[in-house]
Structure 1
């Protein structure tokens, strides 16, 4: 993996925002190039596979390619949309609260979910936009006018992000020597799935009470494409003695991570690493933190189980039992399992992802 010093040398901070402090421990994630992946650079393919096995997180440099530049432009525009969205009154936003719709598309206000085993509540609000809605796969969902006005921009961002997901899946498919199209055919853009764009806002926390804003978790689906500008994202690297470390945001880059589905498809070969969101470090803690995410999940009816056809995927052990669950049911269980407004008695452990089920977590 690349050293922290190399990452620090890449950039100081985003214009107009306080700098990320240099005295904070950060995750030494590999920094991959979209341009090299598109050019079929064999060495870059190997580094992608390495990151997928070792930690399941990496930076993706989007600059230097037409695809990446276009996606960065869309992300910049949607950050502005997100700010306008969260400026709406709470009364207006609650009209689209997904707890009232028994769905995970729509609005979630602050304090609606448990973030730790002590019962503390989250400190962020977010809004989920369905890929199926934007792509015309399903009927349009009710939404605020600011989101209706930005549907074209959202569609462009979704298509650009999904194309990156498809590229990653194709490369990993080939590295595993799976039959051609195995992974991509489980993630078709125009098929019914839980794919979504998420706008997130986390306001500054009280100076004397800064803690976890979003609890430790693994992502529900296959591949996550994240854009953020302030620190706050933390990962817990592999190893019994590991400590939580920040992921430094880098201009011109997306942060990519794998989710639970990739763990299940490869019977643990690929990693869906635990992460959480804490208060931004240093003077960044006084600023409001916005994020923009594209979550790619397997199609609703896909069973989350070991894929056949690769000698690299570990076999099912004699005493191992694969849970029989499809993508839709897995996502609903994970997405809603810690919502205090939906679940009478939140079972923190049962709502955990693949990695939290299998190793002891430091709080």
Structure 2
């Protein structure tokens, strides 16, 4: 049989790794290959539990893709951002404010960051099934690879992490997995996102913040590590610290939905994007993300049956009868993010009310 021929793709050149001495967060590194056996899951579960209780962030390694496969996916990620005309992009702009879906393009300068400064972030979002939406012509030869990539993220990275999180709550391993079905209704999606350099004036007006401190909407976010050092998390001591680049690693973090389902046990950690260090300024920052949410009809309720929660207690964001579904929460937050007025509470915290729940932003 003839071998499979993959289409050629222009190479995307990332920035060199920074040589600056930065204050990095001390995050756990999880060898996800160990999660294939019951013994490995028992070893990893306490590590994941502690990481998600404190930082809400961790690194994942040995996930099953080689560096070369990672590099090719990074090359493909730049196709919809750099190799599609503005005229064609206009046909695929997402209905973000209208229906609360990121599917398609989010153009640059769509959000307000601070002091009237608009964002310099463009991203292209694909539903995890890939083939159930239209795509720009330049991306179409790569759709089978994108589908394989979303399946890999879902089954080989997300599901193992969800099993470890369930074990951390002393629940059956499949508790969270059963709520994250690949073929169910929901907007778990793949995102290709590029941050473009900004003017000195914009940097001054925003105090070098490219994306305000926030928590993610869904359950687990997966960011394929790339070398431009700009992601910062708010550490438990209240200080912002950088997240270090790990070649062929994945950065995983908990979102609001996981925090609410775990009764506050796992933390949706506050993170932001900050101006890169001096030796990386002038470079674009291209990222690959897999943003997971539970099935659309899943109500975001604390898992009261957890023996752990019975011991430590449950912290609720709202009364159970007011808890939104995954779909309701995602659409509500998507519609207003970066588009609605925030109420300043102090020098750091700004708030907005979404579906009756307080959502905080940190500057």
Match of 2:278?
282
Structure 1 or 2: more strand by fraction: 2
Match of 2:249?
253
Match of 2:92?
96
SS of structure 2 residue aligned to 1:200 = strand
Which digits, 9 at most, give the CA deviation of each residue in 1:116-145, with x for residues without a partner?
Answer: 4x45322211011011444xxxxx222201
Distance 2:302 2:223 in 1: 26
1:235-314 equivalences in 2 (<5 Å): 235-239=233-237, 242-313=238-309, 314=312
Deviation at 1:182?
A: 1.5
SS of structure 1 residue aligned to 2:134 = coil
Match of 1:147?
139
Would you say the 8 A contact 2:93–2:105 is kept in 1?
A: yes
Which digits, 9 at most, give the CA deviation of each residue in 1:216-241, with x for residues without a partner?
Answer: 211111111111231111111123xx
Distance 2:318 2:264 in 1: 12
Would you say the 8 A contact 2:218–2:257 is kept in 1?
A: yes
Deviation at 1:283?
A: 1.2
RMSD: 2.8
Count of aligned positions? 332
Distance 1:319 1:112 in 2: 29
Match of 1:230?
228
Deviation at 1:303?
A: 0.3
- TM-aligned CA distance change 1:294 to 1:320, over 3 Å: closer
Which digits, 9 at most, give the CA deviation of each residue in 1:241-279, with x for residues without a partner?
Answer: x22221111102111111111101111000110111122
Distance 2:61 2:269 in 1: 21
Would you say the 8 A contact 1:60–1:253 is kept in 2?
A: yes
Q: Does residue 81 of structure 1 match 2:76?
A: yes
Q: Unpaired segments of 5 or more residues in structure 1?
A: 1-14, 135-139
- TM-aligned CA distance change 1:353 to 1:51, over 3 Å: farther
- TM-aligned CA distance change 1:45 to 1:204, over 3 Å: same
- TM-aligned CA distance change 1:318 to 1:215, over 3 Å: closer
Q: Unpaired segments of 5 or more residues in structure 2?
A: 1-12, 344-349
Out of 104, 107, 124, the residue aligned to residue 106 of structure 1 is 104
SS of structure 2 residue aligned to 1:45 = helix
Match of 2:43?
43
Distance 1:32 1:336 in 2: 34
Would you say the 8 A contact 1:217–1:352 is kept in 2?
A: no
- TM-aligned CA distance change 1:318 to 1:23, over 3 Å: closer
Match of 1:9?
none
SS of structure 2 residue aligned to 1:287 = coil
Would you say the 8 A contact 1:81–1:146 is kept in 2?
A: no
Distance 1:246 1:355 in 2: 29
Q: Does residue 128 of structure 1 match 2:106?
A: no
Out of 133, 152, 162, the residue aligned to residue 169 of structure 1 is 162
Would you say the 8 A contact 1:55–1:271 is kept in 2?
A: yes
Distance 1:319 1:155 in 2: 35
Would you say the 8 A contact 2:230–2:273 is kept in 1?
A: yes
